[in-house]
Amino acid sequence: MIFATGKILVAIVYERNIRDLEKEISTFITYLHNVKKMSLNTELSYKRDLGKVSTYMAGKGIYDPANITAENLKEYISYLQDNNFSAATISRNIACLKSFYHFLHKEGKVEVDVSENLKAPKVVKKVPEIMTTKEVIRLLEQPKGDSPKEVRDKAMLELLYATGIRVSELISLKLSDVNLQMGFVVCKDSNKERVIPFGHEARAALLSYLEKARDAMLEDQASDILFVNCSGQPMSRQGFWKLIKYYAKKAGIEADITPHTLRHSFAAHLVENGADLRSVQEMLGHSDISTTQIYANLNHSRIREVYSKAHPRR
């Protein structure tokens, strides 16, 4: 009977510890949302990363953040390295752990910030894939038909390149986020929003979609969602990813084109044609201008390339 009671007590302690850890992670994510005003993508990323840490520590019988040592965290980082996670992913995990433990320490949940001495690996910034202007035009010209799907596809591709918004932002747009008369879209992220202009090509494609295709595709006529799939439901990331792959192949583009390639191309082409970095930063929604600086560096590399090929005394 005592043994059985002991088992029950162990089970209760085990469940309580799990709930304690989940509670602290949940409280931290709420703090990021309400106080730090982090973007939804950052919140999801931190929640996912901390979930993996939780699973790893549970495998070692550790269920309370206060019982995790600096050595445990170093072992976890070594585990990520041994499993060939990229330097960028490991750096993000370390940033997440530091933020989490700084929060716990500030709130008095742990006595010591055991993440303090974690060192992030050096991240070599990967040069983004950029399409040439001719490649972009070929891609945008692929949806040529009058079917509702092709009219929609044309509008989505044109708007993505015209604004440089993320694919998650594109598929989340509502009718009320688009101002056709003034030519801009409003992207909302947490409590922040940014206004991005678009030109006449995107406007014409959007107008065509709204007049000829959207109502025919929409399942719920009361829905405010801008882009829908062939079943009348909101477009998914995977659906748009397949769409862009299809048209890239049709355009004869051999490079591995993704939705983010159009975002990179939008920024690089703006900088190449004289746009200032601060404006590009605002349109892209970068919190740090150093992230936007890479497009200026690309432009400098392009200038050097042209110089080396064309200057008579190179």
Tell me if residue 90 falls in helix, strand or coil.
Answer: helix
Which tokens is 60 given? 């070692």
Q: What is the mean pLDDT of residues 39-59?
A: 89
Beta-carbon count within 10 A of 209 CB = 23
| H/E segment holding residue 248 | helix 237-250
**Is 228 in contact with 219 (CB distance < 8 Å)?**
yes
Instruction: From residue 76, give the alpha-carbon distance in Å to each of 23, 60, 79, 99, 124.
Output: 21, 11, 5, 16, 22
Q: What is the mean pLDDT of residues 250-269?
A: 89
Q: How far is Cα 101 from Cα 117, in angstroms, rounded to an integer? A: 12
**Is 43 in contact with 30 (CB distance < 8 Å)?**
no
Q: How far is Cα 102 from Cα 108, in angstroms, rounded to an integer? A: 10
- Side chain identity, residue 238: Q
Give the model confidence (pLDDT) of 157-196 as tens digits: 999 999 999 898 999 999 999 999 999 999 886 567 889 9
Residue 223 confidence (pLDDT): 86
pLDDT band at 104 (very low <50, low <70, confident <90, very high): very high
**What are the helix and strand counts (H, E) for the chain?**
13, 3
Query: Is the model's pTM score more than 0.95?
Result: no
Which tokens is 113 given? 């910030």
Look over the chain and give the mean of its residue pLDDT values, rounded to a whole number: 84
Q: What is the mean pLDDT of residues 123-136?
A: 79
The values of phi and psi at residue 223, to 5°, are -65, 145
Give the whole-number percent of the chain exceeding pLDDT 70: 86
Residue 130 has pLDDT above 60, yes or no: yes
Residue 77 has pLDDT above 90, yes or no: yes
Residue 12 has pLDDT above 50, yes or no: no
Which range, 239-248, 281-290, 292-301, has the best average confidence (pLDDT)? 239-248
| H/E segment holding residue 193 | strand 192-197
Tell me if residue 142 falls in helix, strand or coil.
Answer: coil
Tell me if residue 119 falls in helix, strand or coil.
Answer: coil
Give the model confidence (pLDDT) of 51-64 as tens digits: 999 999 988 888 88
Residue 303 confidence (pLDDT): 46
pLDDT band at 3 (very low <50, low <70, confident <90, very high): very low
Q: How far is Cα 97 from Cα 245, in angstroms, rounded to an integer? A: 36
- Side chain identity, residue 215: D
Residue 9 has pLDDT above 50, yes or no: no
Residue 101 has pLDDT above 90, yes or no: yes
Residue 11 has pLDDT above 70, yes or no: no
